[in-house]
A and B are shown apart, each in its own frame.
Chain A
């Protein structure tokens, strides 16, 4: 029985995926079909993200893996273990130390920097899928830049609810051309995509698509002049670190309606608490 290659995938497969990534970077927001492989983890668990990470990771990379913003969720632990086993690279929970971050559903609160790569796991890459189930049709709509239906859908929300009732995978236009589904990150994270210094790679394994937002690329959330794009706010700060203006998870602490709101980004939250304790100790 032979050993697996570095990062599991054989070199030909990595080369094929890198070609797809290069094309995706060259045409921001365009979904590039690629020969997605069957991975030893289940579809829906991040097979696309894992293949992208496996194709760009090198021995000197420092890897961070998060799910729901947290480093210690079971799936993040499992994917981190997979790469430690197959590459032996260094891992970290600190956002700024990582050269490569694989994530599901969040973008870290700590601003990303130039040279970092963020790999997002994508279940359904096609932003028009709920409006048109057929791939042959949606590819045509992208080719013709025919995005009117999406504006109509947002407009219908406004007539019904007085606002756009889309809270995650909120559609964006990348580089003024392609409509893109920013994986299911909450719309709270959409502004972090715009002109980010880091490279954002999106991998959809089951659907066999890769797309990208290169550094410093414009990413605009769809809106209307009289209904500008907004993100959600919480009235209270994080119950553990006191941060404001961050995405909070809600934890039910008892059966009497008690609730605790805490940062979804565990690295951001625990380091703020550590800093505070260090500060008060002096």
Chain B
């Protein structure tokens, strides 16, 4: 009985075996390949790469398979792998202006240089279950991927840069050479955090949490009236400029989604009224996350813009301390670990207090 209470080594081994069985499911059903996950569950892969802070589609697919489709568990697996990797260098900032655009929409101008490009979006689909998908497609038959027109190749300048030329939107300070960028996976998060670390934290943050925080700002908790200035999705080049080389080299291409929110700002004693920015950037096509991130980024700029922080989304410590789903999931779930020592201490106290209480009322 004593051993049964304390659990043990054999229990863990058995649990691992059961988990492996549950992961595989019915052996009569063919096993998923990483290529299938990567190709056909691409948005899950994008989310795991974004919140796992590691751009590797194959590893993300492996994590999703191993985690049985639990994306937070998959993010955790990818992060635990990432933590062992050396930092070889820091890239120069990616130039999203030079993005090979697959999707680009602006909600603030009807038409603009480069045009509006819908790309692959759920936005205007009718959410009706498509029962044709329930059956595998016959090989060789015509499919939805045939005859897709290619996206425009014309230059697509960023909408906020068009506003910037008129001074209507705040200017982003030019990056000084040699400025180092914070990395909260190497240094602990301290408050107040710089915007670099804040954006990193938001990019890694849980999509659901940021969605709810961003949503709250739209409903009046930290209202700052956003417009979706631009959302663009496509490929950007990653460039390294190693000091010993003295010139930049292209090391790869990544797919990202960028969101620039344009927000009202009434101006202050020192600055005239102009629009302000909220920024979101994620791997892959995690567009909902990019938009939520941009809303929350703008809300967290309150201190810098002299706004009163009246709601949780404007509170940097509240948002950044609770946005990481690997941390949150771990701490919430650790409650199932044994706590019987502390509980015993509480039992002793409550019994003593009850004895005193009973004695007092009896008298």
Q: Taking the complex as formed, is A74 at the interface, i.e. its CB lies under 8 A from any CB of chain B?
A: yes
B339, A10: Cβ atoms closer than 8 Å: no
Choose among B1, B83, B185 the residue with the greatest number of A CB atoms under 10 Å from its CB. Answer: B83
Given contact pairs A72-B3, A251-B2, A106 touches B341 in the complex (Cβ within 8 A): yes
Of residues 47 through 66 on chain B, the ones whose CB sits less than 8 Å from some CB of chain A are none
**Residues of the A chain whose Cβ atoms lie less than 8 Å from the Cβ of B349:** 165, 167, 232
Q: Taking the complex as formed, is A28 at the interface, i.e. its CB lies under 8 A from any CB of chain B?
A: no
**Residues of the A chain whose Cβ atoms lie less than 8 Å from the Cβ of B194:** none
Q: Taking the complex as formed, is B191 at the interface, i.e. its CB lies under 8 A from any CB of chain A?
A: yes
Q: Is the interface of B mostly helix, strand, loop or mixed?
A: helix
Q: Mark B185-197, 1 if CB is under 8 A from A, else 0.
A: 1111111100000
Q: Taking the complex as formed, is A44 at the interface, i.e. its CB lies under 8 A from any CB of chain B?
A: yes
| Contact among A70, A240, A250 with B344 in the assembled complex (CB-CB below 8 Å) | A250
Q: Taking the complex as formed, is A206 at the interface, i.e. its CB lies under 8 A from any CB of chain B?
A: yes
B83, A39: Cβ atoms closer than 8 Å: yes
Q: Give complex CA distance A81, B12 in Å.
A: 11
Instruction: Give the interface size bracket for B toward A.
Output: 35 or more
Choose among A77, A123, A240, A248 the residue with the greatest number of B CB atoms under 10 Å from its CB. Answer: A77
| CB proximity of B326 to chain A, nearest CB, Å | 7
Q: Give complex CA distance A42, B335 in Å.
A: 12
Instruction: Give the interface size bracket for A toward B.
Output: 35 or more
**Residues of the B chain whose Cβ atoms lie less than 8 Å from the Cβ of A40:** 80
A72, B7: Cβ atoms closer than 8 Å: yes
**Residues of the A chain whose Cβ atoms lie less than 8 Å from the Cβ of B5:** 251
B188, A33: Cβ atoms closer than 8 Å: yes
**Residues of the A chain whose Cβ atoms lie less than 8 Å from the Cβ of B9:** 72, 77, 81
Q: Give complex CA distance A35, B76 in Å.
A: 17
Given contact pairs A72-B8, A251-B1, A123 touches B341 in the complex (Cβ within 8 A): no
| Contact among B2, B190, B333, B334 with A262 in the assembled complex (CB-CB below 8 Å) | B2
Q: Mark A207-236, 1 if CB is under 8 A from B, else 0.
A: 011000000000000000000000010100
**Residues of the A chain whose Cβ atoms lie less than 8 Å from the Cβ of B362:** none
Q: Taking the complex as formed, is B338 at the interface, i.e. its CB lies under 8 A from any CB of chain A?
A: yes
Q: Taking the complex as formed, is B6 at the interface, i.e. its CB lies under 8 A from any CB of chain A?
A: yes
**Residues of the A chain whose Cβ atoms lie less than 8 Å from the Cβ of B332:** 44
**Residues of the A chain whose Cβ atoms lie less than 8 Å from the Cβ of B338:** 67-68, 73, 75
| Contact among B6, B321, B347, B356 with A73 in the assembled complex (CB-CB below 8 Å) | B6
B330, A186: Cβ atoms closer than 8 Å: no
Given contact pairs A38-B80, A74-B8, A74-B12, A135 touches B317 in the complex (Cβ within 8 A): yes
A208, B6: Cβ atoms closer than 8 Å: no
Nearest CB to that of B331 among chain A residues?
A44
Q: Taking the complex as formed, is A127 at the interface, i.e. its CB lies under 8 A from any CB of chain B?
A: no
Q: Taking the complex as formed, is A268 at the interface, i.e. its CB lies under 8 A from any CB of chain B?
A: no
Of residues 75 through 95 on chain B, the ones whose CB sits less than 8 Å from some CB of chain A are 76, 79-80, 82-84, 86
| CB proximity of B327 to chain A, nearest CB, Å | 5
B341, A247: Cβ atoms closer than 8 Å: yes
B11, A74: Cβ atoms closer than 8 Å: yes
| Contact among B3, B12, B188, B341 with A249 in the assembled complex (CB-CB below 8 Å) | B341
B348, A232: Cβ atoms closer than 8 Å: yes
Q: Mark A235-248, 1 if CB is under 8 A from B, else 0.
A: 00000100000011
Q: Taking the complex as formed, is A256 at the interface, i.e. its CB lies under 8 A from any CB of chain B?
A: no
Q: Give complex CA distance A250, B86 in Å.
A: 48
Binding site for A on B (CB under 8 A): 1-3, 5-9, 11-12, 76, 79-80, 82-84, 86, 185-192, 317, 321, 326-327, 329-335, 337-342, 344-349, 353, 356
Please name 11 pairs of A and B residues whose Cβ atoms are closer than 8 Å in the assembled complex, sorted by A. Answer: A8-B84, A35-B185, A38-B76, A38-B83, A44-B330, A72-B8, A73-B7, A73-B338, A134-B317, A136-B192, A262-B2
The 7 closest A-B pairs by CB, nearest first: A44-B334, A43-B330, A167-B345, A208-B188, A42-B330, A186-B345, A33-B188
If A35-B188, A72-B9, A78-B12 are given as contacts, then 5 extra A-B residue pairs at C-beta distance below 8 Å, sorted by A number, are: A68-B340, A75-B338, A105-B341, A134-B191, A187-B345
